[in-house]
Amino acid sequence: MIGGYVISVAVFVGIWVSLALSLNILTGYAGQVSLGHAAFFGIGAYTSAVLAVRYDVPFLVDFLAAIVITGLVGMILGLPSLRVRHDFLVLATMGINFLVVAVFKYVGFFGGAMGLVDIPAPSLFGVTFRGGLPYLALVWTYAFVSWLVSWYLSKTWVGLGFHTIRIDEEAAAAVGVGVPRFKIYAFAVSAALAGGAGSLYGHFIGSVFPDTFSFVESIGVLSMVIFGGVGTLRGPILGAILLKAAPEMLRFVQDYRVTIYGALLVLMMLFQPMGIIGDQSFLWRQARRLFRRSDAEGNRP
Amino acid sequence: MPFAQNLANAVVLASTYILMAAGLTMVYGVLKILHIAHASVYTIGAFAGLLTFSWLGNFWLALALAMLVSGIVGVLIYRLTYHYMLDAPRTVPLIASIGIFTMLTDLLQKGFLMGPYQHALPAGGAGLPRIETPWFSLTPKQVLILAITVVLLAIVYVILTRTRIGLGWQAAAMDREMAGAVGVNLSRVIALNFFLGSALAGAAGVLVGVYNNSVFATMGNLPSYKAFIIIVLGGMGSLPGVIIASLLLATVENFLVASVGYVLPRDAIAFLVLILMLMFRPHGLMGQE
């Protein structure tokens, strides 16, 4: 059968696929570059952990609470985006990430630097998901839900609103798009999905520590989204799978994981700013051309 | 005594902030790029100073070489990356900058460079005297930092206001395309900009390394985040603004830590200040819409 190690890697990949998809809603759809996404991930993980460890709340409740609370916090932490854009928003989100980690670290209620341990394995409808294949199924179901939410958003008028504020905020406002509303909406949805991923992470590891949710992790998630192709449905998934799984497979890559994330960001910006399978990327254009040609041949009378 | 002494300590702290933030604000002034990788330049400067000092044992040589190395690194960063992204959307150079910062910081932590340790940089006060006044006293290290900061700022001031290329810089900071159109050699101006700014950051790295007698791979992170706070406070792209904002931030920090106990560490307070600033005065304390 499949070894426990492979399953663990697959669980992590699933969690990071959800994370990358959630950041993609904010950065890819709505155009708000955030370097604080790990903060939302952390808020979800800590909400779940506090509820489960300190108040013995059942899994389903603490999981949903993590989603709702992180979504609400996301609305509040999204407020700076109404005042500042681009690079300054990046500074603000970076600051938020530090602030949130500092709160986890220095407020005793959250367990301080020692974190929160002994988070129980989740149980749903009397079934306990103690790692292994059931948990894998749970995580990938959640990843699928994140994908569904992203897909749904991209098809509705909300997605259109996000699109307009990404392309040109002033023009969007001029034709009557409620820019502040859509920004806060994007922050809320993105944060809520990240919160759920955080909850699943906490329950899988069984403990949460402040430094897991630091700025470096935010960079990691952003790398995945940008590497795969920002603003597409397929890109973040591929980015998360490649960047999360590769370091586990190759020992050398594990040691230089962060260096490679950084180098990838630079190289992508230099040569393929749309990501490896983004809309205007080389690979995607070639693939499209390939399929179009075979289509044309198939349709020939 | 405590008040004047606190103030003196704040001015010394502010000097290192100024050296760090000056380069950032110069880059932003001309290119409108938030140069996050500046933190790595600072650390590389400190590392170069550490290596030179441990080989030759001479502080002044170490400082000069550190400034040269970090200046070159700064110019290289520009030539290899930002140079190709000047017409791209603003998120492109920004993300590249984050990438450079991440990559260099992580590389510096590897065993064959600095490793995850703190290295001592025991240069002392480089032979400078201690200054005693009835109100405050300055240790030789503090005198060193103040003196070097004043000299470096004077040099930068002269270059930017009295030389041809410095005037070109001022023109480019006002309007890059227009400056290029009237014959300013933009690539030289921008290269000078990166060289000067990065050399100042390298000097800051060495000075802070000497002051704390410690150099390590992630030493640039906190100062650079604070430098961002400073350039926002000082109204983006303005050198006098940077000086005033550095003094302000250092004073507030010093007095907060000296007078009241705090719930959060002082760096978290600095970030809170940053977020509030961005929300309520995004054009700086003295900036106008």
pLDDT in tens, B13-37: 899 999 999 888 888 888 888 888 8
Chain B stretch 191-210, residues whose beta carbon is closer than 8 A to a beta carbon of chain A: none
Give me the pLDDT at residue A300, please. Answer: 47
Res B263 pLDDT > 60: no
Tell me chain B's radius of gyration from C-alpha atoms. Answer: 19
| CATH code: domain of residue A217 | 1.10.3470
Chain B stretch 30-69, residues whose beta carbon is closer than 8 A to a beta carbon of chain A: 33-34
Total CB pairs under 8 A between chain A and B: 121
Q: Does B2 map to a domain? A: no
What is the domain extent for residue B206? 14-223
Q: Does B240 map to a domain? A: no
CB within 8 Å: B99 and A265: yes
Res B289 pLDDT > 60: no
Q: What is the mean pLDDT of residues B167-181?
A: 82
- A86, A94, A219: residue with CB nearest B91: A86
Range from A143-157, A208-222, B243-257, B260-274 carrying the lowest mean pLDDT? B260-274
Structural domain count of chain A: 1
- B93, B102, B228: residue with CB nearest A261: B102
Range from A231-245, B36-50, B115-129, B139-153 carrying the lowest mean pLDDT? B115-129
Q: Please report, as a single letter, which amino acid is at residue A213.
A: F
Confidence of residue B44 (pLDDT cuts 50, 70, 90): very high
Confidence of residue B261 (pLDDT cuts 50, 70, 90): low
Using DSSP's 3-state secondary structure scheme, residue A121 falls into: coil
CB within 8 Å: B88 and A222: no
Give me the pLDDT at residue A301, please. Answer: 45
- Chain B residue with Cα closest to A98: B268
Confidence of residue B281 (pLDDT cuts 50, 70, 90): confident
Q: Best mutation site among B107, B264, B278 for testing chain A: the one with the most A CBs within 10 Å? A: B278
Structural domain count of chain B: 1
Residues A66 and A45 sit within 8 Å (Cβ to Cβ): yes
Q: Is B131 on the interface with A (CB under 8 A)?
A: no
CB within 8 Å: B99 and A92: no
- List CB contacts (< 8 A) between A262 and chain B: 98-106
Q: Does B176 map to a domain? A: yes
Strands A123-124 and A127-128, sheet pairing? antiparallel
Q: Does B170 map to a domain? A: yes
Q: Does B245 map to a domain? A: no
Give me the pLDDT at residue B264, please. Answer: 59
CB within 8 Å: A98 and B102: no
Give me the pLDDT at residue B111, please. Answer: 76
> Which one, of B46, B51, B54, B95, lies nearest residue B73 by Cα?
B46
In tens digits, chain A (301 residues) has pLDDT values of 457 788 888 888 999 999 999 999 998 888 888 888 999 999 999 999 989 888 888 888 888 999 999 999 999 888 877 877 777 788 888 888 888 888 888 877 888 778 888 787 777 776 677 767 888 888 899 999 999 999 998 888 888 888 888 888 888 888 888 888 888 999 999 999 999 999 999 988 888 888 889 888 888 898 889 888 888 888 899 989 988 887 777 767 777 878 888 888 888 888 887 777 777 778 888 888 887 765 555 444 4
pTM given for the model: 0.82
Give me the pLDDT at residue A189, please. Answer: 93
What is the domain extent for residue A146? 4-299
Using DSSP's 3-state secondary structure scheme, residue A179 falls into: helix
Confidence of residue B258 (pLDDT cuts 50, 70, 90): low
Q: Does B233 map to a domain? A: no
How much of chain B, in percent, has pLDDT values that exceed 90?
19
- Does ipTM exceed 0.90? no
The set of residues, in sequence order, having a beta carbon less than 8 Å from that of A141 and lying 6+ positions away, is none
- List CB contacts (< 8 A) between A269 and chain B: 81, 85, 88, 92-93, 95-96, 99
Q: Does B241 map to a domain? A: no
N-to-C CA span, chain B: 41
- List CB contacts (< 8 A) between A273 and chain B: 88, 92
DSSP letter string, chain B: -HHHHHHHHHHHHHHHHHHHHHHHHHHHHHH----TTHHHHHHHHHHHHHHHHHHH--HHHHHHHHHHHHHHHHHHHHHHTGGGGTTS-THHHHHHHHHHHHHHHHHHTSTTTTTTS-B----TTTTPPPEE-SS-EE-HHHHHHHHHHHHHHHHHHHHHHHSHHHHHHHHHHH-HHHHHHTT--HHHHHHHHHHHHHHHHHHHHHHHHHHHT-B-TTTTHHHHHHHHHHHHHTTSS-HHHHHHHHHHHHHHHHHHHHHS--SS-HHHHHHHHHHHHHHH-TT-SS---
Q: In whole angstroms, what is the distance from residue B263 CA to residue A107 CA? A: 8
Confidence of residue B154 (pLDDT cuts 50, 70, 90): very high
Q: In whole angstroms, what is the distance from residue A239 CA to residue A51 CA? A: 32
Chain A stretch 207-236, residues whose beta carbon is closer than 8 A to a beta carbon of chain B: 216, 219, 222-223, 226
Q: Best mutation site among B274, B276, B277 for testing chain A: the one with the most A CBs within 10 Å? A: B274
Q: Does B263 map to a domain? A: no
Confidence of residue B276 (pLDDT cuts 50, 70, 90): confident
Q: In whole angstroms, what is the distance from residue A191 CA to residue A185 CA? A: 10
Res B1 pLDDT > 60: no
CA distance B240 to chain A (A): 21
Range from A32-41, B156-165, B181-190, B277-286 carrying the lowest mean pLDDT? B277-286
- Chain A residue with Cα closest to B263: A106
Give me the pLDDT at residue B287, please. Answer: 56
